[in-house]
């Protein structure tokens, strides 16, 4: 199976459900687990783009790419960013993800922090969830105030 969807999304929360439904249709025939994990990843990335992304002169909406090639799945979400403290925190989280072998340990450590102080917001939880629960590889590209998050996974079976 090979398919690709590339769309520009208005950064509105209600659009996420529509994209999830499109993915479900595109992945018809694959296992329910594969579909669920892919939807979780797409949802987390789109939520972050809508929550934290900005429109700038390079990108005015949220870019979304979804590709299936055999058992490989790619989800790419792009949005505008500012140079600010949040971007630096994001880079630090991504560095931790990249350099830590035990992704589940990272996620559990974050859950323990939330348990210790539930009043703190669950920031970065979605990124840890992508690499820990859904077992996707996660990378980012930052080019001229456009942030692209790229999540990939080669499933063992369809």
Partner 1 sequence: MAIAGIKVDNFEIKITEQLDKVKVQWLGRSESRNPAEILNPYFDNMINQLNGKSITIDYTLLEFMNSSTVPPIIKFIKACSLGGINTVVNYSKDLEWQNASFKPLQTICMMLKNITVSAV
Least Cβ distance, residue 44 to partner 1 (angstroms): 6
- Report how far apart, in Å, the C-alpha atoms of 56 and of each of 22, 44, 51, 62, 79 are: 27, 22, 15, 11, 9
- Report how far apart, in Å, the C-alpha atoms of 107 and of each of 2, 14, 45, 132 are: 32, 27, 16, 7
Residues of this chain, 112-141, that bind partner 1 according to CB under 8 A: 112, 114-115, 118, 120-122, 125-126, 129, 132-135
- Report how far apart, in Å, the C-alpha atoms of 92 and of each of 2, 85, 105 are: 35, 11, 17
47 - beta bridge partners?
none
Least Cβ distance, residue 119 to partner 1 (angstroms): 8
Residues of this chain, 32-61, that bind partner 1 according to CB under 8 A: 32-33, 36-37, 39-40, 43-44, 47, 51
| Torsions phi, psi for 117 (to 5 deg) | -140, 85
Interstrand relation of 72-80 and 146-154 (parallel, antiparallel or unpaired): antiparallel
Residues 69-108, one symbol each (x = binds partner 1 by CB under 8 A, - = not), give -----------------------------------x--xx
Comparison of 32 and 144: residue with beta carbon closer to partner 1: 32
Q: Is 148 in the site for partner 1 (CB under 8 A)?
A: no
Q: Is 21 in the site for partner 1 (CB under 8 A)?
A: no
Give the interface with partner 1 as residue ranges (CB under 8 A). Answer: 13, 16-17, 20, 32-33, 36-37, 39-40, 43-44, 47, 51, 104, 107-108, 111-112, 114-115, 118, 120-122, 125-126, 129, 132-135
């Amino acid at each position: 199976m090979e398919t690709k969807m590339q769309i520009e999304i208005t950064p509105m929360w209600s659009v996420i459900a529509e994209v999830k439904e499109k993915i479900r249709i595109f992945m018809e025939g694959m296992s329910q687990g594969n579909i669920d994990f892919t939807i979780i990843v797409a949802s987390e990335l789109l939520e972050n783009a809508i929550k934290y992304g900005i429109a700038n002169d390079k990108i005015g909406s949220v870019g979304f790419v979804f590709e299936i090639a055999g058992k490989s799945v790619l989800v790419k979400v792009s949005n505008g960013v500012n140079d600010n403290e949040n971007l630096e925190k994001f880079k630090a989280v991504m560095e931790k993800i990249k350099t830590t072998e035990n992704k589940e340990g990272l996620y559990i450590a974050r859950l323990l922090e939330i348990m210790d102080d539930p009043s703190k917001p669950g920031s970065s939880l979605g990124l840890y969830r992508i690499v820990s629960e859904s077992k996707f590889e996660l990378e980012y590209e930052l080019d001229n105030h456009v942030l692209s998050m790229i999540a990939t996974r080669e499933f063992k079976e369809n």
